[in-house]
Structure 1
Amino acid sequence: MRAFEIVERGHGEVVEVDPPVAGPGQVVVDVALVGICGTDVSIFTGDEARLARSRLSYPIRLGHEWSGTVVELGEGVDPAWLGRRVTGDTLIGCGHCARCLSGRHHLCDDHWGIGVRRNWPGALAEKLLVPEVSLRGLPDEVDDEQGAMVEPGANSFRAVQAAGILPGSTVLVLGTGAIGLIAAQFAIAAGGEVHVVGIDDDGLRIARSLGVQGTWRPDEQPSTPWDAVIEATNSPVMPGFALDAVDAGRVAVFIGVAPTPSEVDARTIVHKEITVHGILGGSLGLNDTIAAYADGSVDPRPLIAATVTLEQAEDVLTGRAPHTRGPGPKFLIDPSRVDR
């Protein structure tokens, strides 16, 4: 089958590889669509700290945001999965440590990550091997585009959930990437008065089209006593910005990851009695995200920039791919399409 693999730092190729075979407790999925995110870009560009932390070595097959159809079952798998449209959990715990047994498998020290950790082959291929335990069924109301955006959406859902947003809460979202913009949608759905801070004009325009009540540059956001601030950028200075912006006694949520250490003064947290939450992944929010996409309260599709082929994956990862559908931040890849 065809697959896109990073063969060295900053360079990938479409290669022919053996298709996966489902072992006990596993399935093979025909991949429909795959999303590309900042994590993929940092792996592609050879972020040495991330590669070491994630125990990755070349060649690397990316792809942790995906949708598809189950076409092969391994021993012991429920036959009802065959032929179902699905997405899945990126993070696979060991299954027997204290964290896994207490429902925190995404924090397991020995976990695997589809397309992102310990070289589990990702979805940038025609077929994908997935453990049954990771599967999530997609209802008819959720199409393949939305299915490929469940994983980032689940990160956003968990950030909004951690923020404790109630009807009337004032919410400031920092960042106009996919996580920030979907978080803004979830915060609106929760009844919040939502504002977005960003530095990208297109991202701010998309935020306004999604129904936020205000968009701002970092140097112009109003001195509102924000009940919740969700930091979803890759800037090392914005976590400190979030702590300064949030009201005393309220909540700051950190989901963005900067390439260098962030600058945070813990005295601000103490003196303002701020509750701080960190969000690593979407594992615990997948079902709620699928439900929100299905009922229409949240729709990630306005964020799609284009759908391209495996041959164009490197252009996406290097920022050269054109936005043929809209100015949004999310590129999708269709492994079944071939450039001629």
Structure 2
Amino acid sequence: MNSGSQPLAIGIDIGGTNTVFGVVDHRGNILYRGAISSRQHSDVADYVTELHAALQPAIKEAGGIGAIKGIGVGAPNGNYYTGSIEYAPNLLWKGIVPLADLISEKFGIPAALTNDANAAAVGEMTYGAARGMKDFIVITLGTGVGSGIVINGQVVYGHDGFAGELGHTIIIPGGRKHYSTGAEGSLETYASATGLRFTTLELLEKDPARPSLLRDYKPEEIDSRLVYDCAIKGDELAQEVYRFTGGLLGKALANFVMFSSPEAIILFGGLCKAGDLIMLPAKEQMEAHLLPIYQNKVKVLFSELRESDAAILGASALVWELK
């Protein structure tokens, strides 16, 4: 599998349900990929043992562990400084889990860990739309809203490793209550796939006489994909959902631009499949809320990484930073 002398990296992305992994070369080619369940073992040591076993065929094919420079891990609540997952609500392992150390010990090579959104930022800088950039922000628009901030070529981690939770900044004071944090009006409650669904249900309820294709479905059947399908068919209410969601995102992006003056903001995740439906109102509202010194200077781009590859690539990119 490793035809050249260049070392390879292992990228591991831990999700609440599944863990995906791959062996990656310097150019961002995934040479081998696989997956295991994240929910099979309540003891993290058993999980690491299964992960080690699942990766053995790939390591053997790569030419043995000596051909691998290291392992990068993206995980919820991953702390780059400590290499630990700290109090992740959606994982079976509670408290502080020193995962990078456990993995490094098991595999016998260095390991680094960060949260999934910061891994996405490193991946974009190494393999994707941010190649050559030193100042940019990645915003992940999925079930939640994550972010990775890069300033002067460095990911911003803060003093404790947890900087950059832009999804939890308040965009509408006293607004919609977050199901998990309890915060009122955070960006994540509006600009995520979950938030878009809530906005749709609110609009349907607010004006019961207003016609919409979405009225043909039960509330539990409505998700962001269905709203997109209806919007593409010309449904006015569905299109309004995207105008509202994109507009709020744009206002938030204006705040982020005035904080770090990035060269670009790169959007990634499931909501990006809506294309111009979300991009046009986001750009319009971002520019409208910027001071003149920032206007028309910041690119808003969609990620160039395939969604199925991005998590592995982002995690693997941490390896090239290892000493």
The question of a shared fold, defined as TM-score above 0.5 by the shorter chain, is answered with no
Of Structure 1 and Structure 2, which has the larger fraction of its residues in helix? 2
Of Structure 1 and Structure 2, which has the larger fraction of its residues in strand? 1
TM-score, L = length of structure 2: 0.29
Bigger radius of gyration among the two: 2
